[in-house]
Amino acid sequence: MKYPKSGRRTKVIIDKHFQLRTSLVGVLYILAVGVFVAFPFAYLMRATNGLLVGYPSDLAASFEKLQGIIIISGSFFLLSIMVAWIYFSLLRTHKVAGPIVNIVRIINEYAKGNFSARVTLRRHDELQTLAKSLNNMAEALTARERTLNEKFRDRLRAAREEIYAGSSPDKVRDILTGLEADIELILEARPGLSGIVREEARDSAEPSSEKVEEETPREIILK
């Protein structure tokens, strides 16, 4: 299914399977009620025709004409109900199908790591509570990611200062170990990144800490 962008929806039928199935179920119920009413009515008309055998022909003809009017009126009434049901059911399910399509599209964006996407629904749409919860979750994830990035930058700045200050290799190694943990947290906050990227980031951090043991901070700076 193609997910349209958020905004004003121009199509009434968004999810054909869901909306048309709902309308069809309602039509079948209406037809079932119509058949349930038609059988007793047909039996009553047949019994009434039997009672009119001894009456004048003009009276019987008038009654048959009345029966025809009742049948036509009943059929038209039943058809009108079905048309009205289809129309209003499509409008009603539109307020559910539209938000579902929009929410699924936003969830797919979150799966890619794009937490800046937000669910935007119309005022009379359903699933407003779910949309609000998803937006709140995205806000929390964005704030968490921002905090992790700031923490990572602070550790990186501290590591740079320690190296320039000529600190011991053990102290620099401890800072780099903390940077490795921060990288893991940042990668976990981005679901779109694969496990291969995490593994490469981990492998690239290990030689750095080992290299610090072998070289002095001054040698690291010169390189």
* Amino acid found at 6: S
Residue 204: enclosing H or E segment and its boundaries? Answer: helix 195-214
Lowest-confidence region among 76-90, 107-121, 153-167 = 153-167
What percent of the chain is helix, strand and coil (3-state, nearest 5)? Answer: 80, 0, 20
Kindly report the average pLDDT of the chain as a whole number: 74
The residues, any chain, with a CB within 8 Å of residue 60's CB and separated by 6 or more, are: 49, 52, 53
Query: Which of 121, 132, 133, 118 is CA-nearest to residue 95?
Result: 121
Structure tokens at 105: 């599209």
Lowest-confidence region among 119-123, 160-164, 180-184 = 180-184
Query: Which of 6, 5, 15 is CA-nearest to residue 121?
Result: 6
Q: How far apart are CA 6 and CA 105, in angstroms?
A: 9
Query: Percentage of residues in the chain with pLDDT exceeding 90?
Result: 14
Burial of 212 (0-12, 13-18, 19+ CB in 10 A): buried
Q: How far apart are CA 49 and CA 67, in angstroms?
A: 10
pLDDT, tens digit (0-9, with 9 covering 90-100), for 101-149 = 889 999 898 888 788 889 988 888 888 899 999 999 889 888 888 887 7
Tell me which residue has tokens 């009205």. 84
